Amino acid sequence: MSRLSDILVIGGGAIGGAIAWSLVKRGLTVTLVEAGRIGRGASWAAAGVLAPDWSGHDPSALTVMAEAGLAAWPDWVAELEDRTGLGLSFRRDGLLNVWVDPDAPHLPHDLATEPLPPAAGQRLSAAEARELEPALTGPILGGALAPADAQVDNPRLAPALIRAAADQGLRVLLDTPVTALLGSGGVCRGVRTASGTEIAAGAVVLAAGAWSGPLAASSGIHLPIEPWRGQMLAFDTPARPFRHIVFCGELVLIPRPHGPLLVGTTLEHVGFDSRVTLAGLHQILARVERIVPGLGDLPLARTWAGLRPGTPDNLPYLGSIPGWDGLYVAAGHGRKGIILAPITGELMARLILDHDLDPMLEPCLPQRVID
């Protein structure tokens, strides 16, 4: 077993990519090991919305971190685009959150009547919401506008991160599933891959999204991360039907600048099954028809689904694994992994390199589930 790197990162999604890029920028030698291709997990399937808290239901620690993530995005993506020449279409379109029925089970219960959390933006009447988005002809009751919320072409994110990091020395192993974390005497010494090869490293970062739980379990570490399936579809539209990203409960409509209208999403607990179902599409379309009757008549461009890495308390696991020196985890970002990618990369690099535990990481430390 030869020691190749200071740090080995498991997983080539937005989170593994962001951490790898942060580490190589600080001069470390890093190897990233990916089971398949780069960025084909949740980071590809996502809606690409950068909104700190559109539901009003997130834990405050998550919203604080997501606000820091959104603040970091403009400079971070500018540097990424500059270094790679890849366009990621970061745009501050703003997010319009509308509600239709206070009794609807998916409605954030307090958004319609109580003071809005700051991240939700400024309250609007139904008429004001319709003035902003005339296509909303359904029976909406009101809305809230968060003008600083943004969108990004998320399928390009992980490939851009890996390209930028590789230009600065990252070594990438594709089609290489990690099957075990190697440890002795309470110290993590590397990983074993499906071919039986052992790769040594000074430290290991587990960033395998929804798959992090089973991988940790195979080495006796209990890390409750559950796949939450989300289905999406895209309509071909002759013109951009909305100026803003529009949310209504679980429904999200994202007008891509030059492309289709993306529509999502479901939240399903069906294990590691990332197939699209008619029931899922039906659920999305029924919600669309409530606020934009007739939108479902547009030609369907494509459908897809992905697996969010969900945790029981809706907070990611970020930090070192108790009892395993040199083993870190950055997984469980749920519905927020795209907005959280820059801040996760930065805070994890500072933790690993400088042992600097930012206060934002404290609620996310994995010891809350590991004795």
Specify the stretch interacting with ligand FAD by CB under 6 A; choose among 72-80, 203-211, 281-289, 355-363: 203-211
User: Does residue 221 bind ligand FAD (CB under 6 A)?
Assistant: no
**Distance separating alpha carbons of residues 177 and 195, to the nearest angstrom:** 9
Is the Cβ of residue 75 or residue 114 nearer to ligand FAD in the bound state?
A: 75
Show the binding pattern over residues 25-54: x = contacts ligand FAD (CB under 6 A), - = does not.
--------xxxx---xxxx-xxxxx-----
User: Does residue 309 bind ligand FAD (CB under 6 A)?
Assistant: yes
User: Does residue 211 bind ligand FAD (CB under 6 A)?
Assistant: yes
From 10, 111, 225, 253, residue interacting with ligand FAD (rule: CB under 6 A)? 10
Residue whose C-alpha is closest to residue 34's, from 161, 220, 120? 161
From 8, 14, 61, 327, residue interacting with ligand FAD (rule: CB under 6 A)? 14
Residue whose C-alpha is closest to residue 345's, from 69, 102, 43? 69
For residue 87, the number of C-alpha atoms closer than 13 Å in the C-beta half-sphere is 4
Specify the stretch interacting with ligand FAD by CB under 6 A; choose among 90-98, 100-108, 128-136, 336-344: 336-344
Buried b (16+ CB within 10 A) or exposed e, 148-186: ebbbbbbbbbbbbbbbbbbeeebbbbeebbbeebbbeee
Segment 247 to 286, residues that bind ligand FAD, using CB under 6 A: 264-265
Under DSSP, the state recorded for 4 is E
User: Does residue 182 bind ligand FAD (CB under 6 A)?
Assistant: no
Which amino acid would we find at residue 127?
A
- Are 243 and 132 in contact, with CB atoms under 8 Å apart? yes
User: Does residue 64 bind ligand FAD (CB under 6 A)?
Assistant: no
Specify the stretch interacting with ligand FAD by CB under 6 A; choose among 1-9, 75-83, 133-141, 302-310: 302-310
From 143, 337, 342, 366, residue interacting with ligand FAD (rule: CB under 6 A)? 337
Q: For residue 195, what are its two tokens?
A: 């071919």
Strands (E) located in 311-358? 317-320, 327-331
Residue whose C-alpha is closest to residue 209's, from 344, 350, 77? 344
* C-alpha distances in Å from residue 123, one per residue of 55, 104, 126, 263, 312: 14, 19, 10, 23, 31
> Smallest distance, Å, CB 291 to ligand FAD?
18
Is the Cβ of residue 135 or residue 232 nearer to ligand FAD in the bound state?
A: 232
Residue whose C-alpha is closest to residue 204's, from 185, 180, 173, 234? 180
Is the Cβ of residue 16 or residue 190 nearer to ligand FAD in the bound state?
A: 16
Is the Cβ of residue 141 or residue 285 nearer to ligand FAD in the bound state?
A: 285
Task: Give the number of residues in contact with ligand FAD, rule: CB under 6 A.
Answer: 43
Contacting residues toward ligand FAD, per CB under 6 A: 10-16, 33-36, 40-43, 45-49, 177-178, 207-211, 215, 230, 232, 264-265, 306, 308-309, 331, 333-339
